Amino acid sequence: MAEMEQPKKVADRYLKQEVLGQGTYGVVFKATDTKTGETVAIKKIRIGKHKEGVNITALREIKMLKELKHPHIILLIDAFPHKQNLHLVFEFMETDLEGVIRDSNVFLSPADVKSYLLMTLKGLAYCHEKRVLHRDMKPNNLLIGPDGQLKLADFGLARIFGSPDRKFTHQVFARWYRAPELLFGAKQYGAAVDVWAAGCIFAELLLRRPFLQGNSDIDQLSKIFAAFGTPKADQWPDMKNLPDYVEYQFVPAPSLRSLFPTVSEDALDLLSKMFTYDPKARISIKQALEHRYFTFAPSPTDPAKLPKPVRKQETKASYGKHEAIKGISPPRKIRRVMPEHGRPDGMKSHVDKDQQAPMSLDFTVLAERPPNRPTITSADRSHLKRKLDLDFQ
Amino acid sequence: MADFQTSTQRAKWVFTPQKLAERYKAANQRAVQLLEKCGTTQVEVDASGSLTYPTENARDQAADKKLKPLSVDEERFMRAFYEAKVQEVCSAFEFPHKIQATALQYFKRFYLQWSVMQHHPKEIMLTCVYAACKIEENHVSAEEIGKGIKQDHHIILKYEMAVLQSLEFDLIVFAPYRAMEGFVSNMEEFLQARDDEIQKLESLLKAATAEADKIMLTDAPLLFPPGQLALAALRIANGVLGVVDFDRYLESIVSQPNSEHTTSHLSNLLDDIESLVKNYKYPSEKDMKHINRKLKSCLGHSSSHDESKKREKRSKHKSHRSSSDAPPNGPPAG
């Protein structure tokens, strides 16, 4: 076959174009759907002869996205096996929210921030209404289309929640977006974990850098407590019963205003409600959408008019982690260490409990650079898999 | 996922009786034509989901024999036999009803696209159980399933992709069990139940669960939405236990603002489901012997050589002797 000479059609339908990303599980490439004329992104996942058959992450993503159809959820157009690869065909997305947040040439007005958060929460509200937990909310998984519409992607960790006593693994979310109950090892949790992560994304939009950058699970809790104060029993009665609960030295909460000096009162109030410690008291996504932040001025920017990153190539949308794309991440810029980072670090009084200490070294060696964004693809991934297997037997 | 209304199941996998009959007929016809043209019906599968159909030269080897295809009714028996096996396997592993129901739905949907003459139902049955566990997040390794019931687990892994593809990757399936729980807790309110009545409702739920298991063996899951299956199961169980005035309960349901039915319409639908259960036929041993012999010859499994190889595999279950390693284009009769 003369496959090499001309662009080949995959499955007689998709005209292959350039590769968007390459990683451990396979490749993402751009293509034209000859049936509709539309540009698509195709994620290729090797089938291989695994002991456990078809990649479970890919299957989760397919089963969820087949049922979830919403303007703020990535559209799965097709799924099919072809030549030793499972192909997932998605609508083509230009960039992701991480690319927007990081691009120092992009100015985000309060109305822009509101628009991005609104779209994020709308997508999430739909998931929760369908009783789906996303469990991997982070800017990198919020893709942005050519029309400025933001869509939730990467449902490889998503779970249906229903029976209240069902136990889940707590090893979900990239660490910086992990809710305190998960960091304390909660196995029974609900939609509130996505709310916390959405709060982190909101904060990141406002600050233009990840808000709580812990370099280990223990350090993550220290960072959270440094920002909001160590929770007291009356604030979060169930805390002490969580499996991995350890007492932390009491730290008083600085005023939220001091962490977000320039934001509106409404934004600050919503933030504080999304960062409520007790998951039962934390605002729901539905309530958050009804918060006055969204009804009061300024009104959210029309998505089509939202600012976009200038250097397109650097910020291609990633279509989820199971390809662990290397070529797509923009090069990290050297950044100043923010003053409030010094503080929580000094409070790390539980180093002995910190089993992930060696990992944190990787980050701290490069003191001037922000730590690499932790993903579940990286260190905790194998752990997660083991957990998942054990959890449900 | 709580929403059947927007589900792929509602959009694609609930049929009219006529449509369902057509699908079974068409699947049977495709296999009949293969048999006529090629002398065998077996479609080979590999782990990446690619299919190899029998070719016409296979015909020469089988030309001396005049093979008879299975009829639509015989196919139905064959499926009924292996659907019962799905429940047996799931019970042996003590899987929840939900997994059993998902596996059955997968099995039923698979054989809308294929004839049992093209893919042996035993292999598909095992693969459906495995896939259902995986999708319902109750992960059990293929090896464990294989070991537990003394079957070669490589077969499961070999068929997984082909099964998923035949399901068109619509993997979330709605079963009547959850809906039944919902109706029963709704009945508590309806009856304003006291403690003793709550206990009766619990036994009603238990009895209805067993009835739902029976309903799942019929065509009903391909013909009715899960809510109606649940109501039918509850009505059958209530017919014996007499816990609630069922007609009045149905009235209370249809009087709700979003209801699409009248009481009599809903009642008729439940009658239809009940009659499917009443008319359910499970093949006798004699039926099975006959059909099985026919199936084997259609699949080209009748040679004694092939049989002994299989038996050997079953008794020793060697760790790696995957049939997926065999050249896909080899003569299917072996």
What is the complex's ipTM, to 2 decimals? Answer: 0.85
Q: Are residues B127 and B241 in the same domain?
A: no
pLDDT band at A316 (very low <50, low <70, confident <90, very high): low
**What is the pLDDT confidence band of residue A367, given thresholds at 50, 70 and 90?**
very low
* B247 found inside a domain: yes
Q: Do A392 and B138 touch (CB under 8 A)?
A: yes
**pLDDT at residue number B222:** 98
- Residues annotated within a binding site of A for ATP: 20-28, 43, 49
From A62, A81, A132, residue closest to B1, measured CB to CB = A132
Residues B231-237, mean pLDDT to the nearest whole number: 97
Residue A153, domain CATH = 1.10.510.10
Same domain, B162 and B110: yes
pLDDT in tens, B133-173: 999 998 888 998 888 888 888 889 999 999 999 999 999 99
Which residue of chain B has the CA closest to A386? Answer: B139
Q: Report if residue A12 sits inside a domain.
A: no
pLDDT band at B195 (very low <50, low <70, confident <90, very high): confident
Does some domain include residue B3? no
pLDDT at B174 over 50: yes
| A27 and A126 fall within a common domain | no
Q: What is the mean pLDDT of residues A314-340?
A: 43
Which stretches of chain B sit within 8 Å of chain A by CB? 1-3, 6-8, 47-50, 130, 134-135, 137-143, 156-157, 160-161, 164-165, 169-172, 178, 324
Total number of domains constituting chain A: 2
Banded model confidence at residue A11, pLDDT cuts 50, 70, 90 = confident
Query: What is the predicted pLDDT for the residue at A6?
Result: 58
Most confident of A153-167, B275-289, B310-324: B275-289
Same domain, A303 and A177: yes
Question: Do B111 and B242 fall within a single domain?
Answer: no
| Region for B54 from its dihedrals, namely left if φ exceeds 0, alpha if ψ lies in -120 to 50, beta otherwise | beta
Q: Among A371-385, B152-166, B215-229, where is mean pLDDT lowest?
A: A371-385
pLDDT (0 to 100) of residue B59: 55
Question: What's the pLDDT at A163?
Answer: 65
Higher pLDDT, B263 or B171: B171
Q: Are the Cβ atoms of B8 and A67 closer than 8 angstroms? A: yes
* pLDDT tier at B299, thresholds 50, 70, 90: confident
Cβ <8 Å between B156 and A53: yes
Give residue A136's domain range. Answer: 95-391
Q: Is residue B69 part of a domain?
A: yes
Identify all chain B residues contacting A84, using CB atoms and an 8 Å cutoff.
Answer: 48
Q: What HEC string does chain A produce?
A: CCCCCCCCEECCCEEEEEEEEECCCCEEEEEEECCCCCEEEEEEEECCCCCCCCCHHHHHHHHHHHHCCCCCECCEEEEEEECCEEEEEEECCCEEHHHHHHCCCCCCCHHHHHHHHHHHHHHHHHHHHCCEECCCCCHHHEEECCCCCEEECCCCCCEECCCCCCCCCCCCCCHHHCCHHHHCCCCCCCCHHHHHHHHHHHHHHHHCCCCCCCCCHHHHHHHHHHHHCCCCCCCCHHHHHCCCCCCCCCCCCCCHHHHCCCCCHHHHHHHHHHCCCCCCCCCCHHHHHCCHHHHCCCCCCCHHHCCCCCCHHHHCCCCCHHHCCCCCCCCCCCCCCCHHHHHHHHCCCCHHHCCCHHHHHHHHHCCCCCCCCCCCCCCCHHHHHHHHHHHCC
Q: What is the pLDDT of residue B14?
A: 97
Contact A69 B47 (CB under 8 A): no
B17 belongs to a structural domain: yes
Beta carbons of A67 and B178 less than 8 Å apart: no
Last residue of a domain, one of A62, A91, A120: A91
Is the bond leading into A298 cis (omega within 30 degrees of zero)?
yes
Final residue of a structural domain among A46, A69, A91: A91
Q: For residues A296 and A327, state if they share a domain.
A: yes
Question: Between B175 and B39, where is the model more confident?
Answer: B175
Domain boundary among A69, A91, A113: A91
Mean of pLDDT values over B190-194:
83
Residues A291 and A305 in one domain: yes
Going by pLDDT thresholds of 50, 70 and 90, the confidence category of residue B275 is very high
On chain A, the residues whose CB falls within 8 A of the CB of B8 are 66-67
Using CA atoms, how far apart are residues A342 and B193, in angstroms rounded to an integer?
61
Same domain, A42 and A183: no
| Chosen from A43, A52, A133 to mutate, greatest number of chain B CBs within 10 A | A52
Mutate to test the interface with B, among A43, A66, A128, A167 (most CBs of B within 10 A): A66
- Determine, yes or no, domain membership for A245: yes
Q: Is residue A321 part of a domain?
A: yes
Q: Is A2 part of a structural domain of the chain?
A: no
Tell me: do B164 and B39 sit in the same domain: yes
Q: Which of A136, A194, A217, A219 is catalytic?
A: A136
Task: Judge whether residue A232 has pLDDT over 60.
Answer: yes
Domain that holds residue B242: 176-278
Q: State how many domains chain B has.
A: 2
For A149-166, the pLDDT digits (tens) are: 999 999 999 999 876 667
* Shortest distance, CA B324 to any CA of chain A (angstroms): 10
Same domain, A83 and A198: no
- Indicate whether A54 and A22 sit together in one domain: yes
Average pLDDT over residues A20-31: 79
Interface contact A51-B47, CB threshold 8 A = no
Structure-token pair, residue A174: 């990239």
CATH at residue A82: 3.30.200.20
Report the percent of chain A where pLDDT is more than 70: 75
A167 and A32 together in one domain: no
Q: Whole-angstrom Cα distance, residue B232 to residue B270?
A: 5
Residue A4 lies in a domain: no
Residues A339-349 have a mean pLDDT of 38
| Mean pLDDT score, B224-233 | 96
The answer to whether residues B219 and B257 belong to one domain is yes
| B70 shares a domain with B155 | yes
- Region B112-117: mean pLDDT is 95
* B190 and B306 both lie in a single domain: no
Question: Cβ B169–A159 below 8 Å, yes or no?
Answer: no
Within-domain flag for A232: yes
Residue B64: per-residue pLDDT: 52
Q: Do A80 and A115 fall within a single domain?
A: no
Question: Does residue A184 share a domain with residue A85?
Answer: no
Closest residue in A to B161 (Cα) is: A54
| pLDDT recorded at residue B191 | 85
Same domain (yes/no): B247, B311: no
Q: Are residues A200 and A329 in the same domain?
A: yes
Query: Which range is least confidently modeled, A60-64, A261-265, A321-325?
Result: A321-325
On whether any CB of chain B is under 8 Å from the CB of A69, the answer is yes
For A316-347, b/e burial (b = at least 16 CB within 10 A) is bbbbbbbbbbeebbbeeeeeeeeeeeeebeeb
In the annotation, is A136 catalytic? yes
- At A294, the pLDDT band (50, 70, 90 cuts) reads very high
Residues B105 and B26 occupy one common structural domain = yes
**Stretch A53-77: mean pLDDT:** 94
Q: At B236, which CATH number? A: 1.10.472.10
Same domain? B117 vs B90: yes
Do the domain assignments include residue A246?
yes
Domain shared by B100 and B223, yes or no:
no
Q: What is the pLDDT, as a whole number, of residue B93?
A: 93
Report whether pLDDT(A259) > 50.
Answer: yes
User: Is B330 a domain residue?
Assistant: no
Shared-domain flag, residues A107 and A63: no
Same-domain pairing of B166 and B298: yes
Most confident range (mean pLDDT) of A57-61, A361-365, B224-228, B311-315 is B224-228
